Amino acid sequence: MFRAVFQIRSSFRFVAQTFTGKTNLSATSVIPSLFTNLQARHKHEEAEADADEFDKDPNGPPRLFVVQPRFRPDAILKIKLDEALNLANSLEEQRDGYYATTFAEKELPPHLVVQNPAYRITRADTFFGPGTVDNIKCHLNAEDSKGGVDAVFVNGILTGVQQRNLERKWGKAVLDRVGLIIEIFHAHAQTKEAKLQAELAALMYKRSRLVRMRGIDGRFTFGAPGEAEVVSARGRGSGGRGFISGAGETELQLQRRRIIERRNHLLSEIKEVRRTRAIQRASRKRHGGSHGQDMPTVAIVGYTNAGKSTLVSALSDTYLFSDNRMFATVDTKVRNVILPSGKKVLLSDTVGFISDLPVQLVEAFHATLEEVAEADLLVHVLDSSAPNRDEQKESVLQVLQQIGVSKEKLQNMIEVWNKIDLEPDETAVSKQIEEDVDDDSEDWLSPEDGEVKWDDASASFVGWKASEPDQTNPNDLDTSHLEVGSGDQPKDVSNRDQTKPDEPSISHLQVRSGDQPKDVWNSRGVLKGDSEYEPDVKTSALTRVGLQELLHLIDDKLKTEETVERNVFERKWRPPRDHDTGVVVG
């Protein structure tokens, strides 16, 4: 069965050994898992998690409890929650080339929708307010009686301090969105290059999580008691005075140094793998081309799960692994395809993108992404059935810009709407959404208030106006206990004091409406920004619809590109001149 938990545990051991200097760094080591600190800390905190929890089922995928901050309208919440649940279920590692579980048959992970701290005040220490933290703890206790969960996935971005505090309060490892995505990349990576890159991303993420904490005795420390103590003689006599001189290295400094050493090691390995790949790529381009020309490369890009691998498989009549799991592909695969004109091209299927793609991943996967940026033509595959199709499109465009794809290439990019066999009944969807919007319209602030901004890309508010909660109105208090996930969740876990003032509901905070909700949705029932434009081509990779049309389009684009290139060359070419004299040189 699944090895991730096992690996997570072994990575803990590895990191523990590495950071205490008991082992040598090795290229095949697993990533410094996000669960590791927790285990170390909890050895000293009896009231908190049982550290042996992770030993429970070393053969199964980790069981995550999903915490989804609330969004309004509910349609947005549903999109965010669906994605969070999919992410949580995607964390699984292949064994002998197979996943132990079939994704479609997986049960939904237990989950809970809670107040969104972004809608009011995000607490620096615990992200959520104390009422929400307690409420989640109640649910986790209830889960424990049913076999327990290994970790809590908070679908938001936490600071290192928030993560640690929540871990202490809940007695569970906590993963935020960035952490989980990095874990998934690591679990799904198959090739040496992808594994190295995923480890690098995890290492950089871990580095950003090394935080100074107040220990149980009230003193500041760096994690487990004793971590702040001097653990190595390095730095002794380095020239300072008094305490500074000869103080040696604290655990934190030691961890930082080891992370940097490992990072440098990984970077040099990645460089080597990259060099080999560049040679292979050049030779592949040369060998397939006709008339001595290189084969053009076409990179298939898009949001995760859009159907890129399925499309490349269908176009090339070869097999590529495809799955409903998010980030099923982490390793780039290249396939030969013959276009209708007879021209041969290289089609590359690569890693998918997601909103808030961790910067650590973009940096670590730079080599892979660079191939995308260097491709002669890009094909952007979108899942036409996704209700937030344009939001996904925006996320992809952002990453493409981030990795340096030129404006011309973006303009020339072919946009494909895949999964047209799944296209939802638009009338029904938009009707439902409009109903939701009307229902919620009272709750929204008007942008004219100047106190709220709608961020189309992330579908979230930035800034807002909070009214005082009506403490006498139960609807104005924490309602998170009502929004429980999987059917078997306890219904009565939140018998907290409903008049507790620390956790007013968000409902009162999403005050009057301007025309905000109407602006957010269009008639198709998708997020604002979704226009009624048509894509270049519509396909169903599964039923092989639209494939010929797409191949013709690629053919045309590449022809145009050649012509443009030749024209540019002809126009630009002239004998080099000496600028000062105007005399033709040579």
Ligand X SMILES: Nc1nc2c(ncn2[C@@H]2O[C@H](COP(=O)(O)OP(=O)(O)OP(=O)(O)O)[C@@H](O)[C@H]2O)c(=O)[nH]1
Integer CA distances (angstroms), 367 to 199, 301, 361, 374, 561, in order: 14, 15, 11, 11, 25
Name the residue whose CB lies closest to ligand X: 352
Which among 138-146, 324-332, 484-492, 517-525 is the span making contact with Mg ion, rule CB under 5 A? Answer: 324-332
- CB of 553 within 8 A of CB of 345? no
Residue number, 328 or 493, with CB nearest to Mg ion: 328
Instruction: Name residues contacting Mg ion, limited to 248-277 (CB under 5 A).
Output: none
Q: How far apart are CA 408 and CA 395, in angstroms?
A: 19
Min CB(289)–ligand X separation in Å: 27
- The entry of ligand X, Mg ion, none near residue 156 (CB within 5 to 8 angstroms by kind) is none
> Going by C-beta distance under 8 Å and a sequence separation of 6 or more, which residues neighbour residue 412?
377, 378, 557, 560, 561
* Shortest Å, Cβ 362 to ligand X: 15
Q: Which of residues 329-388 bind Mg ion (CB under 5 A)?
A: 329
β-sheet bridge partners, residue 454: 461
Neighbours of 216 (CB within 10 A): 15
Neighbour tally for 508: CB within 10 Å: 18
Residue 326 interacts with, from ligand X, Mg ion, none (CB under 5-8 Å by kind)? ligand X
Query: Do 526 and 390 touch, CB atoms closer than 8 A?
Result: yes
Contact 184, 91 (CB under 8 A): yes
Whose Cβ is closer to Mg ion: residue 250's or residue 329's? 329
- DSSP tag of 105: G
22 CA to centre of own chain = 33
The residue ranges that bind ligand X (CB under 6 A) are 302, 304-310, 322-324, 326-329, 352, 418-419, 421-422, 540-542
Q: Which does 307 bind (CB under 5 to 8 A by kind): Mg ion, ligand X, none?
A: ligand X
Q: Which residue has the tokens 């008049």?
A: 499
Q: Which burial class, exposed, middle or buried, applies to 118 when counting CB atoms under 10 A from its CB (0-12, 13-18, 19+)?
A: buried
Residue 73: cis peptide before it, omega within 30 degrees of 0: yes
In 10 A of CB 238, how many CB atoms?
11
Q: For residues 177 and 258, which CB has a smaller minimum distance to ligand X in the complex?
A: 177
**Residue placing its CB nearer to Mg ion in the complex, 332 or 388:** 332
Contact 109, 66 (CB under 8 A): yes
Contact with Mg ion (CB under 5 A): which of 309, 316, 516, 540?
309
How near is the Cβ of 188 to ligand X at its closest, in Å?
A: 8
Residue closer to ligand X by CB (options 116, 155) is: 155
State the minimum distance, in angstroms, from the CB of residue 539 to ligand X. 6
Stretch that binds Mg ion, among 108-116, 283-291, 323-331, 540-548 (CB under 5 A): 323-331
- 3-class state of residue 133 by DSSP: helix
- CB 163, min distance to ligand X, A: 26
The entry of ligand X, Mg ion, none near residue 517 (CB within 5 to 8 angstroms by kind) is: none
Which residue lies nearer to Mg ion by CB, 311 or 526? 311
443: which DSSP letter? G
Instruction: Kindly state the smallest distance separating residue 313's Cβ from Mg ion, in Å.
Output: 9
Choose from ligand X, Mg ion, none: what does 374 bind? Cβ within 5-8 Å by kind.
none
Binder of residue 324, out of ligand X, Mg ion, none (CB less than 5 to 8 A by kind): ligand X
Residues in Cβ contact with 315 at an 8 Å cutoff, skipping those fewer than 6 apart: 335, 337, 347, 547, 550, 551
**C-alpha span between 12 and 509 (Å, rounded):** 42
Q: Which is nearer to Mg ion, 126 or 329 (CB)?
A: 329
Q: Which residue minimizes CB distance to Mg ion?
A: 329
542 binds, among ligand X, Mg ion, none (CB under 5 to 8 A by kind): ligand X
- For 176, list phi and psi in degrees, rounded to 5: -95, -175
> What does 279 interact with, of ligand X, Mg ion, none (CB < 5 to 8 A by kind)?
none
124 vs 422, which CB is nearer to ligand X? 422
What is the rounded distance in angstroms from the CA atom of residue 92 to the CA atom of residue 255? 28
Choice between 53 and 390, CB closer to ligand X: 390
The partner in contact with residue 162, picked from Mg ion, ligand X, none with C-beta cut-offs of 5 to 8 angstroms by kind, is none
The residues that touch Mg ion, with contacts defined as CB under 5 A, are 308-309, 328-329
